[in-house]
Amino acid sequence: MAEMTRHHLITALTLCLLPLTACGPEGPQQTSEQTTAPATATPSPTKLTVGEGTFPDPDTVDRSDVEATAETAALMLHSWDTATDRTQTAAAIRTKPLMSEEWADHQVEPERNGNQAAWLEPAEHQAYSAPSLVPAVGDVSRDVAADKAIRAYDVTWRWTSRNGEDIDATGRRHLTLYLEKHDKQWEVVGHQFRDLDPAAVPAQ
């Protein structure tokens, strides 16, 4: 009787071990490899470096110099990357370190890109802008007081594609910056712009 019971126990243990062996290490490892492989094979667009490192860095600006602060802010406001930016306001948000706290709070992205039509061709090439500027003609730029200044620029930009193809699209704006000096540092307290005819962009 004891021998029969032992035989039944061994048989029962053997049957219980069979499904465990079938679900051994090879099963989960293969499943893990199958789920992780696609994620590493296709890089995410969010991994792209904004502007491929060509955009100005606000942390390197000499904030005691009104010209350096204004010029860097003007360039940053027109530094867009169609591969990572949802709207053109993304550039203004990156410029917030050079703004007063109050003006920085005004930089909020809208639901839609107001410049979407102009971004269509650059976006096809995951392009980013390459802005340049010259002082605007006229007497808009001036030092209002020891701690207040206005600077105006004609800003132009072209697009650099990530796939090496040429892009015909360009842009041009008249930009006015209002700056104030606090604690020996200049900051942008307001800005406004007016789009100009891209066809009038001077040859560079």
Q: What is the pLDDT of residues 114-167, one digit of tens each?
A: 677 889 999 999 999 999 999 999 999 999 999 999 999 999 999 999 998 999
**Residue 44: phi, psi to the nearest 5?**
-75, 145
Give the pTM: 0.74
Q: Which of 139, 155, 150, 140 is nearest to 70 (CA)?
A: 150
Section 65-79 average pLDDT = 98
Confidence of residue 91 (pLDDT cuts 50, 70, 90): very high
Higher pLDDT, 125 or 8: 125
Q: Which of 7, 12, 83, 92 is nearest to 48 (CA)?
A: 83
Q: Who contacts 80 (Cβ-Cβ below 8 Å, separation ≥6)?
A: 88, 90, 91, 119, 128, 129
